[in-house]
Structure formats: C-alpha cells, structure tokens
C-alpha cells in the first residue's frame, strides 16, 4: 500500500491537466504516492498532452462522461493509498503542500477531510470552504443572487446572522484565512481524506453528477462525528471552472438537480419548502436573464425546463 493516492478526474481540461501533473512531480512528497487520472471521455487534446507521464501514472478511460462522483469512485477502486487526495485538473500544487497536508491529517484524530488554502492565479484568496446546504443557499444559488454578494467579512457577520451557513460558515479575506479552522465543508477541488474514512462513511454518492458531491460527503462525515479541517499552512492554485465554463447551461441544470437530490436524501421533510423556494428563485433568475442576457428566449426556455424538472421530481 502506498501512502498517498492522487485521483484526478479529467474532462476536456486542455493544458491544465498537464500543468497539474507537472506541478505534482515538481513538488512531489517525500513518501510513496501514485497518481490515477480518470478521464470522462474527453474530446480535446488533454490526454495527449500527458503521454510523457504514462510510465508514472495510470490513466482510466471511461467510455462516456460518467460524472464527477462516479469517476472519483472508479479512481478509489483503482488505487491502494492509505490517504486519498481528490484533485481538480485545473489546480497547481505548490512546494510542501502534499507533505504537510498528509502529515497534519495523520497526526490529528477525528479528521474526516482536509483542504488547503485555494488561491486564484493572481494569488488572491479563493473561497476554500463553506457551510452545509440550506434553503437560503437554494434561494441564492438558483436565483444567482449569490453573485451580487461578495464573500467577505461584512456579509459573513450580517447575512450570516439571518441566512445561516451559506455566509456564516465561510472565511473572509482577513485573518481567518490564515488560521487552521474546523469547518462544515472543504472544497472538492483539493480534498484529502483517508481510505479508512471512506470505507466507514461510504464513497461519493453517484447521484451527484456534478456539484455538491463533496458537500454531501462532508455532511456524512459530520454525522459520524468527524471533522473537516481548513488548513491554510499550504496553498494550491485553482484556475477554477476551466471545463464547466464551456457548458454553462448544462452545469446550471446539474447544480439544481444536485440541490434537489441533497434535500430529498437528507431533509425529506423540507422538499416542499425547497420547491417553493426554487420556484421563487427561478423567477428571479429569469428576470435577471431578461435584463442582462442577450439570448433571452434561450435563457427563459432553459430555466422553465429546469423549473419543470424540479417541480415534477
């Protein structure tokens, strides 16, 4: 058994996948590790760009795009590491990151997952953790009003008081971002856990095709009494949404489906409330689309299709 397995799910990530692998080998850990790239039927040149690494990594080629959760689970079953790092292909590992996150994880009890500080390309701090999904988040996420409220200290203190963990359980661009903190959820773009933990609480729920799969897993960790740790002593650059930005309408549909499934699974008594809020939020979304989006008919048709799905299911 190796000490660390790194699983990278790829779908049309272009140059970022090769850059990610290069950063791992440049800053490789001082212990045994393995890398598995699970490709979800990419049609670009991303796999071709990593051919030179073929003797050091394993590539699994899925015949179709199986989604993030299922691809990660395939990766788990193909690896042997004591610790498992789920890493987005649009990330860049910095010096000492792998050594320090594994060392902290194994030296502290009751950790279920750990995530480092995430940085934008200009080295500004990116959202690196957040709260569990709430009805307030459903309202903000489906309506897209969350884009109007930056994740900063003011909104943490004011909106967090009234809207719950969507704002209260995030870290703002101030001293908290330099403090090791117990949080609800660490971002799935760089997500460390252990094989023993996954065997205990279960793998990723494959009903989540895209988005919120790490939120749901962290919720199960919390129910087991395990902690999620934000660990800012090391950083990872995250270029963010390099693949999903190419298909925004499909991505939005999958986000909404994931929200509905999450409530059905963990808050079944709130599904009716979810649908009422989702309907209201979608009306806001359509209004915003009419005002700001030039493709008005396409936006309305897409949103009404999603709304019909949410109300029907």
For residue 203, pLDDT over 80 is answered with yes
- Between 165 and 310, residue with greater pLDDT: 310
For residue 133, pLDDT over 60 is answered with yes
- Between 151 and 88, residue with greater pLDDT: 88
For residue 88, pLDDT over 80 is answered with yes
Q: What is the pLDDT of residues 221-268, one digit of tens each?
A: 999 999 999 999 999 999 976 555 566 788 889 999 999 999 999 999
What does the pLDDT average to over 56-60? 96
pLDDT of residue 242: 59
For residue 167, pLDDT over 60 is answered with no
pLDDT band (50, 70, 90) for residue 125 = confident
pLDDT band (50, 70, 90) for residue 291 = confident
For residue 152, pLDDT over 80 is answered with no
For residue 220, pLDDT over 50 is answered with yes
Domains of the chain: 4-132+169-241 (3.90.550.10), 133-168+267-313 (no CATH)
Q: Are 37 and 58 in contact (CB under 8 A)?
A: yes
pLDDT band (50, 70, 90) for residue 270 = very high
Dihedral sign (CA 55, 116, 255, 202): positive
pLDDT of residue 118: 94
- Mean pLDDT is lowest, of 87-96, 209-218, 287-296, for 287-296
pLDDT band (50, 70, 90) for residue 126 = confident
- Mean pLDDT is lowest, of 63-72, 87-96, 299-308, for 299-308
Q: Are 303 and 286 in contact (CB under 8 A)?
A: yes
Give the predicted TM-score (pTM) of the model.
Answer: 0.91
- What region, left, alpha or beta, does residue 224 occupy, with left being phi > 0 and alpha being psi -120 to 50 degrees? alpha
pLDDT band (50, 70, 90) for residue 164 = low
């Amino acid at each position: 058994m190796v000490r660390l397995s790194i699983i990278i799910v790829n779908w049309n990530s272009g140059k970022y996948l090769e850059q990610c692998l290069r950063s791992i080998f440049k800053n490789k850990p001082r212990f045994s590790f393995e890398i598995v790239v699970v490709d979800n039927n990419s049609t670009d040149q991303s796999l071709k760009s990593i051919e030179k690494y073929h003797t050091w990594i394993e590539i699994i080629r899925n015949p179709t795009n199986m989604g993030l959760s299922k691809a990660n689970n395939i990766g788990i079953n193909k690896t042997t590491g004591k610790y498992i790092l789920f890493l987005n292909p649009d990330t860049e590992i910095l010096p000492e990151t792998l050594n320090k996150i594994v060392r902290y994880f194994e030296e502290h009890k009751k950790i279920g997952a750990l995530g480092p500080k995430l940085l934008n390309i200009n080295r500004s701090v990116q959202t690196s953790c957040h709260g569990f999904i709430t009805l307030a988040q459903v309202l903000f996420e489906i309506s897209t009003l969350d884009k109007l409220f930056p994740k900063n200290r003011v909104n943490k203190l004011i909106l967090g008081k009234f809207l719950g963990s969507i704002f209260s359980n995030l870290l703002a661009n101030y001293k908290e971002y330099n403090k090791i903190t117990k949080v609800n959820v660490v971002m799935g773009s760089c997500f460390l856990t252990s094989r023993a933990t996954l065997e205990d609480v279960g793998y990723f729920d494959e009903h989540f095709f895209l988005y919120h799969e790490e939120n749901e897993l962290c919720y199960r960790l919390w129910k087991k009494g395990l902690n999620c740790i934000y660990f800012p002593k090391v950083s990872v650059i995250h270029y963010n949404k390099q693949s999903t930005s190419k298909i925004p309408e499909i991505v939005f549909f999958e986000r909404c489906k994931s929200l509905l499934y999450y409530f059905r699974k963990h808050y079944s008594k709130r599904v009716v409330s979810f649908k009422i809020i989702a309907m209201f939020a979608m009306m806001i979304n359509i209004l915003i689309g009419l005002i700001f989006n030039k493709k008005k008919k396409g936006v309305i048709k897409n949103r009404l299709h999603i709304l019909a799905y949410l109300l029907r299911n």
